Protein backbone atom coordinates (compact mmCIF):
# COMPACT_ATOMS: atom_id res chain seq x y z
CA UNK A 1 0.00 0.00 0.00
CA UNK A 2 2.89 2.33 0.72
CA UNK A 3 4.12 1.71 -2.82
CA UNK A 4 0.75 2.81 -4.24
CA UNK A 5 -0.05 5.71 -1.93
CA UNK A 6 3.44 6.82 -0.87
CA UNK A 7 5.21 7.34 2.44
CA UNK A 8 3.30 9.25 5.08
CA UNK A 9 -0.16 8.51 3.67
CA UNK A 10 -2.42 8.98 6.68
CA UNK A 11 -5.80 7.27 6.96
CA UNK A 12 -8.50 6.22 9.40
CA UNK A 13 -10.11 2.82 9.89
CA UNK A 14 -13.71 2.88 11.09
CA UNK A 15 -14.39 -0.86 10.70
CA UNK A 16 -15.12 -1.26 14.42
CA UNK A 17 -16.01 2.37 15.14
CA UNK A 18 -19.18 1.51 17.05
CA UNK A 19 -17.38 -0.77 19.51
CA UNK A 20 -13.74 0.36 19.51
CA UNK A 21 -13.77 3.83 17.97
CA UNK A 22 -12.07 5.10 14.85
CA UNK A 23 -8.37 4.25 14.53
CA UNK A 24 -6.16 6.79 12.76
CA UNK A 25 -2.70 6.07 11.38
CA UNK A 26 0.07 8.27 10.02
CA UNK A 27 1.15 5.60 7.51
CA UNK A 28 0.68 1.93 6.59
CA UNK A 29 3.74 0.83 8.57
CA UNK A 30 2.27 2.15 11.85
CA UNK A 31 -0.99 0.31 11.07
CA UNK A 32 0.90 -2.95 10.47
CA UNK A 33 2.88 -2.51 13.71
CA UNK A 34 -0.26 -1.85 15.75
CA UNK A 35 -1.97 -4.88 14.23
CA UNK A 36 1.02 -7.08 15.03
CA UNK A 37 1.34 -5.85 18.62
CA UNK A 38 -2.39 -6.33 19.23
CA UNK A 39 -1.99 -10.00 18.27
CA UNK A 40 0.86 -10.29 20.76
CA UNK A 41 -1.21 -8.70 23.55
CA UNK A 42 -4.19 -10.86 22.62
CA UNK A 43 -2.10 -14.02 23.02
CA UNK A 44 -2.60 -14.95 19.36
CA UNK A 45 1.09 -14.73 18.36
CA UNK A 46 4.49 -14.69 20.00
CA UNK A 47 6.82 -11.80 19.16
CA UNK A 48 8.97 -13.95 16.84
CA UNK A 49 5.79 -14.85 14.93
CA UNK A 50 4.97 -11.16 14.52
CA UNK A 51 8.47 -10.44 13.26
CA UNK A 52 8.39 -13.34 10.80
CA UNK A 53 4.89 -12.41 9.65
CA UNK A 54 5.89 -8.79 9.05
CA UNK A 55 8.91 -9.92 7.04
CA UNK A 56 6.78 -12.35 5.04
CA UNK A 57 4.14 -9.67 4.37
CA UNK A 58 6.75 -7.25 3.04
CA UNK A 59 8.29 -9.99 0.87
CA UNK A 60 4.90 -10.97 -0.61
CA UNK A 61 4.07 -7.30 -1.24
CA UNK A 62 7.41 -6.70 -2.97
CA UNK A 63 6.90 -9.78 -5.16
CA UNK A 64 3.40 -8.62 -6.16
CA UNK A 65 4.70 -5.16 -7.07
CA UNK A 66 7.49 -6.72 -9.15
CA UNK A 67 5.02 -8.96 -10.99
CA UNK A 68 2.70 -6.07 -11.79
CA UNK A 69 5.60 -4.03 -13.08
CA UNK A 70 6.55 -6.89 -15.41
CA UNK A 71 2.99 -7.22 -16.72
CA UNK A 72 2.64 -3.53 -17.42
CA UNK A 73 5.59 -3.44 -19.81
CA UNK A 74 5.45 -1.14 -22.83
CA UNK A 75 4.67 -4.02 -25.21
CA UNK A 76 1.76 -5.21 -23.05
CA UNK A 77 0.36 -1.68 -22.82
CA UNK A 78 0.59 -1.24 -26.58
CA UNK A 79 -1.22 -4.57 -27.12
CA UNK A 80 -4.03 -3.54 -24.74
CA UNK A 81 -4.38 -0.13 -26.36
CA UNK A 82 -4.68 -1.74 -29.80
CA UNK A 83 -7.42 -4.14 -28.64
CA UNK A 84 -10.85 -2.97 -29.80
CA UNK A 85 -14.30 -4.46 -29.38
CA UNK A 86 -16.76 -3.50 -32.13
CA UNK A 87 -19.47 -2.56 -32.76
CA UNK A 88 -20.07 -0.78 -29.50
CA UNK A 89 -22.99 -0.32 -28.72
CA UNK A 90 -24.05 -3.70 -30.12
CA UNK A 91 -27.21 -5.81 -30.45
CA UNK A 92 -26.39 -9.32 -31.69
CA UNK A 93 -22.62 -9.89 -31.58
CA UNK A 94 -19.28 -8.17 -31.08
CA UNK A 95 -15.90 -8.78 -32.67
CA UNK A 96 -12.34 -8.25 -31.47
CA UNK A 97 -10.00 -6.14 -33.58
CA UNK A 98 -6.22 -6.65 -33.23
CA UNK A 99 -6.66 -10.03 -31.55
CA UNK A 100 -3.50 -12.10 -31.07
CA UNK A 101 -3.19 -15.92 -31.08
CA UNK A 102 -2.74 -15.88 -27.28
CA UNK A 103 -6.26 -14.44 -26.83
CA UNK A 104 -8.29 -17.65 -26.61
CA UNK A 105 -11.39 -16.99 -24.50
CA UNK A 106 -13.67 -14.28 -23.15
CA UNK A 107 -15.82 -13.44 -20.15
CA UNK A 108 -18.78 -11.05 -20.24
CA UNK A 109 -19.59 -9.59 -16.82
CA UNK A 110 -22.30 -7.32 -15.49
CA UNK A 111 -21.15 -4.07 -13.93
CA UNK A 112 -21.57 -5.72 -10.53
CA UNK A 113 -19.01 -8.38 -11.49
CA UNK A 114 -21.32 -11.34 -12.12
CA UNK A 115 -20.24 -13.49 -15.05
CA UNK A 116 -23.08 -13.43 -17.57
CA UNK A 117 -21.41 -15.38 -20.36
CA UNK A 118 -18.03 -16.95 -21.13
CA UNK A 119 -16.52 -19.06 -23.86
CA UNK A 120 -13.83 -19.63 -26.43
CA UNK A 121 -12.91 -16.98 -28.99
CA UNK A 122 -13.46 -17.69 -32.68
CA UNK A 123 -13.87 -15.77 -35.92
CA UNK A 124 -17.65 -15.59 -35.43
CA UNK A 125 -17.25 -13.06 -32.63
CA UNK A 126 -19.06 -13.11 -29.31
CA UNK A 127 -22.80 -13.71 -29.45
CA UNK A 128 -24.88 -11.42 -27.26
CA UNK A 129 -27.94 -13.71 -27.31
CA UNK A 130 -29.73 -13.81 -23.99
CA UNK A 131 -28.19 -10.61 -22.62
CA UNK A 132 -30.50 -7.84 -21.45
CA UNK A 133 -29.73 -4.33 -22.66
CA UNK A 134 -27.20 -2.63 -20.40
CA UNK A 135 -23.56 -2.01 -19.61
CA UNK A 136 -21.16 -4.99 -19.51
CA UNK A 137 -17.45 -5.60 -19.14
CA UNK A 138 -15.78 -7.79 -21.79
CA UNK A 139 -12.60 -9.46 -20.55
CA UNK A 140 -10.33 -11.21 -23.04
CA UNK A 141 -8.32 -14.09 -21.55
CA UNK A 142 -5.12 -15.80 -22.68
CA UNK A 143 -4.62 -19.57 -22.96
CA UNK A 144 -3.79 -19.72 -19.22
CA UNK A 145 -7.00 -17.93 -18.26
CA UNK A 146 -5.28 -14.63 -17.39
CA UNK A 147 -6.90 -11.35 -18.46
CA UNK A 148 -5.09 -9.64 -21.33
CA UNK A 149 -7.65 -6.98 -22.17
CA UNK A 150 -10.86 -5.47 -20.89
CA UNK A 151 -13.37 -3.00 -22.29
CA UNK A 152 -16.84 -1.71 -21.52
CA UNK A 153 -19.63 -2.79 -23.84
CA UNK A 154 -23.12 -1.37 -24.24
CA UNK A 155 -25.71 -3.97 -25.27
CA UNK A 156 -28.82 -2.47 -26.86
pLDDT of amino acid 132: 94
Q: Convert the pLDDT of each residue in 91-132 to its tens digit.
A: 999 998 877 777 889 999 998 889 999 999 877 789 999 999
Q: Is the pLDDT of residue 76 over 60?
A: no
pLDDT of amino acid 113: 86
Region 123-151: mean pLDDT is: 87
Region 4-20: mean pLDDT is: 86
Q: Convert the pLDDT of each residue in 16-50 to its tens digit.
A: 889 989 999 999 889 988 988 888 888 888 888 88
Q: Which residues 6+ apart lie within 8 Å of 33 measured at CB?
A: 54
Q: What sign results for the dihedral spanned by CA atoms 131, 137, 141, 145?
A: negative
CATH 2.60.40 in the chain: give the residue spans.
Answer: 78-155
Q: Is residue 52 helix, strand or coil?
A: helix
78-155: CATH class:
mainly beta
pLDDT of amino acid 69: 65
**How does residue 80 score in pLDDT terms, banded at 50, 70 and 90?**
low
pLDDT of amino acid 120: 92
pLDDT of amino acid 122: 77
- Find, among 56, 50, 65, the residue nearest to 5 by Cα: 65
Amino acid sequence: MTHLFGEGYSFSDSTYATTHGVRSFTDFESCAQETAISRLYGGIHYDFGNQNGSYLGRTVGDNIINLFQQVSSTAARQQLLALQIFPNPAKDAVFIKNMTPSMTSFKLSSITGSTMKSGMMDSNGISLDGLAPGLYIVTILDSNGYPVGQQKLVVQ
